Amino acid sequence: MVAHRMVDVNGVRLHIAEEGQGPLVVLLHGFPESWRSWRHQFGPLADAGFRVVAPDQRGYGRSDHPDDVAAYSILHLVGDVVGLIQALGEEKAYVVGHDWGAPVAWHTALLRPDLVLGVAGLSVPPPFRGTEPPLTAMDKKFGGRFYWNYFNRPGVADAEFAKDTRTALRKFFYSASGDVPGGAKQPLVDPERGWLAAMPDPEVLPRWFTEDDLDALTESFSKGFTGALNWYRNLDRNWELTAPWHGALVTSPALYIYGDRDPVPAFPGTPEFIESLPDRMPNLRRKPLKLAGCGHWTQQERPAEVNAALIEFLRNCS
C-alpha cells in the first residue's frame, strides 16, 4: 500500500507518497500533475525490490507553495531532490522524471552525479543549454504565442486555468494525449483568447484517465496554479544559473522514453537532438525508447511498457 507523509526538505514541507523497500527510486511529476501521475508505477517497482517515493513537488498539491517566483528555480528544485534523498536516510538514489520532472531529474544527475545511481527522463530529453534564454528564443520564433511566453505573463494563465479547474485539466490531458485526432502540434496560444479556447473538450475521457483520476487531480489544484506556473517563469533565470554547466553532459547511467505523438519531442530542434543522444551521452543504456501512438502522459498512457523499461534499466544500472 502507498503511504503518505510530510517531509521537511530544503526549507519547504513536501508531501510524499512511498511504497516498498530497497534502493530508493524518486519519481518526479510534471505540469499540471501530482504524485498520482506515478500511480501505475508504485506497485510494479516496489514488487521489483525498490523503495519508491513520489513527492508533490514545490508549488503542487499538499506541498508548500512559496510566494516568491524566484523560489522555483532549477537550483531550488534540484535542492529539493537532494534534500529529500537525505531526509529519507539514503546516500544515493535513482531519479526518474516526467515532463517538468525530467529536467529536475536530469539536472540532479548533472549537478550531483555523486548522488545519482541512474537517471531516467520521460517526454523531455536531457538538458541542452542553448545560446540565448529560452523565453527570448521562443518569443522570437513564435511572436510571443508559444505557451511558455503565455505562462510568463503574471496572473494571466493562473486566472484562466483556475476559473474552471476540472475543465482546464480535462482539456490539458486530452489535448496532449495520444488519443486526440491529428499529429503533435506546436502549443501556440492566442494571447487574447487564452490557451484553453482552442483545446478540444472530450465527451468521454481516454480509458487510461478516469473520472476518479480527474477528481483527485482537480482537488490537488485547490490552491490554484500559480506555484506550478512559477516553474515556467524561471526558464530564463535557469538559463543564467546553469551557465557554469554549459556544454556539460549527463554522465550517470541514463534512459530516455517518449511517445511519437507527444508534442514536446516535436519542439523546434528537439527531434534532431533526440537522434543525436546516443552520440552525446556516453552512458545512455539504450537508444531512446519511442512508444508508438503514445502522447505526452507517457507513464499513464503506457504503464506496462514504461514499467518494463524502468525495471530493466534500474536493475542493470550498476
67 belongs to the catalytic site:
no
Q: How far apart are CA 108 and CA 283, in angstroms?
A: 16
Reply yes or no on whether 296 is catalytic.
Answer: yes
Among 42, 173, 17, 29, CA closest to 101: 29
- Specify the DSSP class assigned to residue 60: S
> Of 157, 214, 187, nearest to 295 (Cα)?
187
Strand pairing class (12-19; 51-55): antiparallel
Write down the catalytic residue from 29, 76, 98, 296: 296
- Supply 151's cell numbers: 505562462
Contact, 100 vs 58, CB < 8 A?
Answer: no
Catalytic choice (99, 158, 179, 262) = 99
Number of H helices, E strands in the chain: 13, 8
173's CB contacts (< 8 A; 6+ apart) are 205, 206, 209, 214, 297
Give the integer Cα–Cα distance in Å for 177 and 34. Answer: 17
What are the start-end ranges of the E strands in 234-283?
A: 254-259
Contact 89, 23 (CB under 8 A): no
| Active-site annotation, residues | 99, 296
